[in-house]
Amino acid sequence: MYPAGACTWVTVEGMSDRLCGRSRPGHFRGVTTVVAKLFHIVEPDLAFFGQKDAAQAAIIRRMVRDLNLPVEIVVCPIVREPSGLAMSSRNAYLSAEQQQSALVLYGSLKEIQRCCQSGERNSDKLIAAGKQIVAADPSVRLDYLEIVDPDTLEPLPAVNRAALAAIAAFVGTTRLIDNVVLEVLE
Amino acid sequence: MYPAGACTWVTVEGMSDRLCGRSRPGHFRGVTTVVAKLFHIVEPDLAFFGQKDAAQAAIIRRMVRDLNLPVEIVVCPIVREPSGLAMSSRNAYLSAEQQQSALVLYGSLKEIQRCCQSGERNSDKLIAAGKQIVAADPSVRLDYLEIVDPDTLEPLPAVNRAALAAIAAFVGTTRLIDNVVLEVLE
């Protein structure tokens, strides 16, 4: 995939340093470069990405739009276990106990969603409510819990339009992510 | 060409800071980004670039190779006036006197070529010989005169394989460029 002396990068600036990009410097530059290469090799009409990695999906959509790549990006919804845990190949690393702890990720997002539907619009307050759920399980170490614009990944001070609540947390040594879209119903 | 909020760049690292890229910071990042966009919009089988902008041609070839772009790059030879001056839209900015001065660009490259063919292989000595030709006309201000690898644009200390001698100089306020390939005939 990488010829000797390869030195070309595709970078989506700014967005690549937000959410998971802040925790994983250089990660999204690698993603966008290899995805651009793949698109050039395969020349697909459609490409499917999961909403679970919301930052990745937003960054790929931006890359495709900015560079006029002739491909349509389809973002596929998160699929959950009956428990609510977002499906991920990483869940196989979790013990039965850790799988129970991992439920606080979706739990915190549902709490934010509930508070939002009850009329709370202030992002700091919504995030604080979500963090309480995470803090209740000391075996979960929060990486981030943010409310951002779904397209630019920029933090939103208030939820007065479609917003993304996104979480990343470590359960043991396993880093898990999840997110929900907050809809404002007038 | 640039949607609102565009933040995606295609960068050929290292090479973009050499030759004209050193004199024009950020220039080649703009070139590679817009050329990638153009390729995605047009989806050409072949794309033609001039050897006169040797750095641009090398950088585009590297980008196409590194990103697996499905296009063949054809580099077209420099076309010269009967005087030897490399044809360029910028030549229209030159007075008759400046056109005469501009001949030292190709003159210096021919001198390097002549010294090389006479057996001189040391790049510093070859460049010094070329610079003497430029220095003979005080109305010409040298930007760079370098001997580099034609593919990587890295300076070559000696000409013991195919090398590129490249020059950029100001004649009045007009910046001109030219180059020749130095072949080593054993």
Quickly state the pLDDT bin for B177 (edges 50, 70, 90): very high
Average pLDDT, chain A: 95
**Longest alpha-carbon distance in chain A:** 57
ipTM of this complex: 0.89
Of the candidates B3, B164, B155, B146, the one whose C-alpha atom is nearest the C-alpha of residue B75 is B164
- Across the interface, do B70 and A40 touch by the CB < 8 Å criterion? yes
In angstroms, the separation between the Cα of residue B111 and the nearest Cα of chain A is 32
Of the candidates A35, A17, A34, A38, the one whose C-alpha atom is nearest the C-alpha of residue A26 is A17
Instruction: Provide the residue ranges of all domains of chain B, joining segments of one domain with +.
Output: 20-76, 89-182
Coil, strand, or helix at residue B100?
helix
Residues of A in contact with B12 (CB under 8 A): 7-8
- The one-letter amino acid code at B37 reads K
The CATH number that domain B89-182 falls under is: 3.30.1300.10
- Across the interface, do A9 and B11 touch by the CB < 8 Å criterion? yes
The set of residues, in sequence order, having a beta carbon less than 8 Å from that of A127 and lying 6+ positions away, is A112, A145, A146, A147
pLDDT digits (tens, 9 = 90+) for B31-63: 999 999 999 999 999 999 999 999 999 999 999
Selected for mutation to probe chain A from B1, B2, B7, B17 (highest A CB count within 10 Å) is B7
Residue B68 has its nearest CB partner, among A5, A13, A40, at A40
pLDDT digits (tens, 9 = 90+) for B96-149: 999 999 999 999 999 999 999 999 999 999 999 999 999 999 999 999 999 999
Residues of A in contact with B44 (CB under 8 A): none
Of the candidates A88, A60, A85, A59, the one whose C-alpha atom is nearest the C-alpha of residue A72 is A60
Report DSSP state, residue B139: T
- Across the interface, do B70 and A43 touch by the CB < 8 Å criterion? yes
- Across the interface, do A32 and B6 touch by the CB < 8 Å criterion? no
Q: Say yes or no to pLDDT of A132 above 80.
A: yes
**How far apart (Å, rounded) are the C-alpha atoms in residues B83 and A79?**
71
- Across the interface, do B152 and A66 touch by the CB < 8 Å criterion? no
pLDDT digits (tens, 9 = 90+) for A108-120: 999 999 999 999 9
pLDDT at A185: 66
pLDDT at B85: 97
pTM for this predicted structure: 0.91
Quickly state the pLDDT bin for B185 (edges 50, 70, 90): low
Task: Give the pair of three-digit tokens for residue A103.
Answer: 């439920």
Quickly state the pLDDT bin for A22 (edges 50, 70, 90): confident
